[in-house]
Structures are given as structure tokens and as C-alpha cells.
Structure 1
Amino acid sequence: MTEVRIEHLTTSGAFSLDGGLWDVENNVWIVGDDHEAIVIDAAHDADAIAAAVGDRRLTAIVCTHAHNDHINAAPALAEATGAPILLHLDDRLLWKHTHPEHSPEGYLSHDQRIDVAGTELRVIHTPGHTPGSICLYASTLGTVFTGDTLFAGGPGATGRSYSDFPTIIRSIRDRLLTLPPGTQVRTGHGSDTSVRAEAPQLDEWITAGH
């Protein structure tokens, strides 16, 4: 039995919503061992992600939310690997903005478990950035994958359609900052952080957001 590991890939492309277009770099996370893996957020480049997975069995493509820059490569990666695309049900309308002809193969719910290579990841529903935003907590790896809900230095953006600032603050306060302080936070964009580093800033975020 090989050891479970976390691999990181950065892909580049565009994020579009509400008539705007922004160049972005996304973090793509691969969790697994030498035999099987899952991909968290299939962004921009299905070929590069498939190459990083290699000959391992891809058991799921998990979407932290349905903004186009996090899901635009998901159908092509699913077609290449046979892996199902999983998304929280509350983001199905956002998904249709990018992929009107292709639906996810499964819908996620809060506290659902995803198993890969003998490791369990718990789905944490964290609405705010989008209605169906989720994080994935792997307690045995001391890691939470937060998508665009929590970054190094603050919460994800809430100034666009489908987003809400008080909701994202509640999600972070009640469901992320309650994780063990040493939990590493692996984000959808930019650098890693930790629960310990972000928790003291909560009041500042609330003040800045009002």
C-alpha cells in the first residue's frame, strides 16, 4: 500500500461572470496514491490535469463550486478518464452557465464522505461565494481544501451574482475556523494558509465587509 499524498498543479485561463472577464491562475489539487486519485477543481487544462494524474484510476472530479474557472475542464477530463463529476446541488444553475449540455454525474451534500486510497474527505457546505460552495476536510492529512471560500488573508469575493457576504462569514466562522488550528488551508487561488493564521482576522473581515 502506497502513501496518500497531495499534489498541486497550477493552470491559467479566464474567469467570466456578470459580463466581466479576468485572467486567473487556479490551484488544481490531486489527492491519492500510486493507484487511484481524485481531482479537486478541474480548471482550464484537461490535458495537463490528466497528465498529472497519469495512469492512476481517477475516481472523482470534485468541484468546490461552479464558477467557470473551476469547472471549465471538468467534462473533458471526465470524458478522458471516465471519472464522475461531483458538485453541490445548490450550484447547478451556475454550472449551466458554463456547461448547458452536460450535467454533473452526482450531487454533493454537507457531511458526505468521499473516499480515495483509504483516506476520507468530508464535504463541508460553505455557501457565500456561491450557494453551493463546498470545502473538503481530510482530517488524517491535516488539510482542508477551501476553493474560493477562504484564502490567505480573507474570505472569497462576494461582489458578484449568487454571492453573499454575511453568508460566507457564517460559513467560515462556524464550519472552517472550528477545525483544528493546525489544519492547513489549501485554496483555489494563491498560497496556502492555516486555520490558526486566519482565525484571528475574523473581526477585521466583518468590519471591512460592512
Structure 2
Amino acid sequence: MTARIDHMVTSGTFALDGGEWDVDNNVWIVGDDTEAIVIDAAHDATAIEAALAGRTLRAIVCTHAHNDHIDAAPALAEATGAPILLHPADRELWQQTHPDRAPDAELADGQELEIAGTTLTVLHTPGHAPGAVCLYAPELATVFTGDTLFQGGPGATGRSFSSFPTIIDSIRDRLLTLPGDTTVRTGHGDPTTIGAEAPQLDDWIKRGH
């Protein structure tokens, strides 16, 4: 049985470089009726735990360590016993939010995560953050992109730890090479597809999006 994708939206605050913004975050739960992983434990550990509906949580996977994607991770880990997984290049960002609680394990490019008979491959896609990753699940025809790629363009690169040329390279080399019918499930906002976004690459570069 192939895993299914459950989706919820949580609301809170994104804070970086002295500024704060109200945000709505996508939380993705991938699994079956018995086990699951959570991609980006944002804002509300209690609501995320409730959405698991008694399933065993195998891992809390962080696409990157901006506070709005990780603020509920320690509480969810404590409630469920699940490990928190983060790419090591984002440890400095992580420590800004959780200085006294380290992630439990590291994510690495090419690593495969297995859940409910489905494989998700970790793609290191720096740019929005140094340790940003995407998770590609070909059996689900889906890539979870965090804040690397959205409907209509790349993630923001105007703040600390970010780089526009780097995110463009990541999107071009790691994401736009995926099949065009791959659904892009993002960290905020509506899904899109690789095929819908690929033709816009040159425009993004010209605009310095």
C-alpha cells in the first residue's frame, strides 16, 4: 500500500533579522493508517499530534530551520518520541530558535527515508537557507519543497543565510530535472507542478526574484 499525503495549515509568526511576520504554514503528513512522518512541524504541536490520529510518528523532517518551520518540533518530538531530522548546514539557524535542544539526526543529500512502503529521497537545495532540503517521492509523483520553490517562483533570498544565485542553481539542477507532472507541495500557499514552473526560470533570473 502506497503512503498517502495529509495536509494541514497552521498559523504563527516568522521572525528573522529583527523582523516579524504573520504566516500560514503548510504541514505535510506522509504515511498510512499506522505510521507517518511529519514534514515541517510548524506552530502547533497539539494540532499536528491530533492530525496523526494515533499513528506512530517515525520522524519530524525539517525542510530548513527558519523558526516558522521548526517552532513546534521539540514539543511534537516530546509528545511522540519521534526524532527531529535537519540538514547540518542549518544548525546555526536552528539554534536561534532552539538553543537548548539539538536535532536528533542529520539529513544528507541522497538519503532515503522510508515510510509506509514509500521512499522519499532527500535533495539538498540550498539558497533560501544553507541547509534547505526537498523531499522527492516518485511513487507519489510529489516533491515537498519547503520554501525553495513556490507557485510562481523561488523562495525569498533577501535575508540572512540566503543567496539568490544559489537557490536558482538548486532549482535548476535538482528540481526542474524532475518529471513535469510532479506535484510541488510547498511550505506556504498552493501546490504547483514542475512542468508549470520550469518555463519561468529565465524570467525569475531576469527579475532577480
Q: Shared fold by TM > 0.5?
A: yes
Q: Give me the whole-angstrom Cα distance separating, in 2, the residues matched to 1:132 and 1:93.
A: 10
Q: Give me the whole-angstrom Cα distance separating, in 2, the residues matched to 1:147 and 1:116.
A: 19
Q: Is the 8 A contact 2:2 2:139 kept in 1?
A: no
Q: Is the 8 A contact 2:148 2:171 kept in 1?
A: yes
- Aligned twin of 1:50: 49
What letter corresponds to residue 128 of structure 1 in structure 2? G
Q: Is the 8 A contact 2:31 2:116 kept in 1?
A: yes
Secondary structure at the residue paired with 1:101? coil
- TM-score normalized by structure 1? 0.99
Residue by residue, what CA displacement relative to the aligned partner does 1:63-97 show, whole Å, maximum 9, x if unpaired?
00000000000000000000000000100000000
Q: Is the 8 A contact 2:2 2:118 kept in 1?
A: no
What letter corresponds to residue 12 of structure 2 in structure 1? G
Q: Give me the whole-angstrom Cα distance separating, in 2, the residues matched to 1:136 and 1:89.
A: 16
Q: Is the 8 A contact 2:39 2:63 kept in 1?
A: yes
- Aligned twin of 2:97: 98
- TM-score normalized by structure 2? 0.99
Q: Give me the whole-angstrom Cα distance separating, in 1, the residues matched to 2:184 and 2:97.
A: 27
Unaligned runs of 5+ in 1: none
Moved over 4 A (4+): none
For this pair of structures, how many residues does the alignment match? 209
- Aligned twin of 1:38: 37
Unaligned runs of 5+ in 2: none
What letter corresponds to residue 194 of structure 2 in structure 1? V
Deviation at 1:4, TM superposition (A): 1.5
Deviation at 1:55, TM superposition (A): 0.7
Residue by residue, what CA displacement relative to the aligned partner does 1:122-162 show, whole Å, maximum 9, x if unpaired?
00000000000000000000000000000000000000000
Q: Give me the whole-angstrom Cα distance separating, in 2, the residues matched to 1:4 and 1:75.
A: 25
CA RMSD, aligned part only?
A: 0.7
- In the alignment, structure 1 residue 14 sits paired with structure 2 residue 13: yes
- Aligned twin of 2:58: 59
Q: Give me the whole-angstrom Cα distance separating, in 2, the residues matched to 1:9 and 1:81.
A: 18
Deviation at 1:3, TM superposition (A): 4.4
Q: Give me the whole-angstrom Cα distance separating, in 1, the residues matched to 2:187 and 2:2.
A: 24
- Aligned twin of 2:198: 199
- Aligned twin of 1:88: 87
Q: Give me the whole-angstrom Cα distance separating, in 2, the residues matched to 1:149 and 1:137.
A: 13
